[in-house]
Homo-oligomer: A and B are copies of this chain.
């Protein structure tokens, strides 16, 4: 059983149920709303209801990788007070990738629909016993 399982065994495989590699589409969708720096994204993803808590290290590394692959581009912003911020924005390539992610995630949702439907009907049968 996932996430909220409290059996603190090291062999417990009570994790999962969330979407793998979701940090990328989440970043892209956030940037689709407008430019943001890593810290902004971190805060935004924390607020995202139902979404997994983002990991700082992975977020910044993913952003650098996404820049290399052309999904986002960044510029240093020093005008504000406080430490310099690397502000990211989504590129046309990023939009393409977001489109592809949306397709894949649509398929995932359909699979979940089927699974949950199957579950519900089998559960009804089981209850009758």
Which of these binds chain B: A35-43, A77-85, A112-120? A112-120
Query: How many of A's residues come within 8 Å of B, CB to CB?
Result: 55
A21 to chain B: which residues have CB within 8 Å?
A: 2, 13, 15-17
Main secondary structure of the interface of A (DSSP, over half): helix
A26 to chain B: which residues have CB within 8 Å?
A: 115
By beta carbon, the residue of chain B nearest A2 is B104
Complex CA distance for A98 and B115, rounded to whole angstroms? 11
By beta carbon, the residue of chain B nearest A97 is B1
By beta carbon, the residue of chain B nearest A20 is B16
Nearest Cβ distance between residue A76 and chain B, in whole angstroms?
24
Whether the Cβ atoms of B13 and A65 lie closer than 8 Å is yes
Complex CA distance for A33 and B2, rounded to whole angstroms? 22
Whether the Cβ atoms of A111 and B1 lie closer than 8 Å is no
Given A3-B104, A12-B69, A17-B101, output 12 extra A-B contacts at Cβ < 8 Å: A11-B65, A13-B24, A17-B107, A29-B119, A32-B119, A32-B123, A49-B114, A50-B107, A50-B111, A105-B112, A106-B116, A108-B112
Complex CA distance for A120 and B114, rounded to whole angstroms? 22
A19 to chain B: which residues have CB within 8 Å?
A: 16-20, 108, 111-112
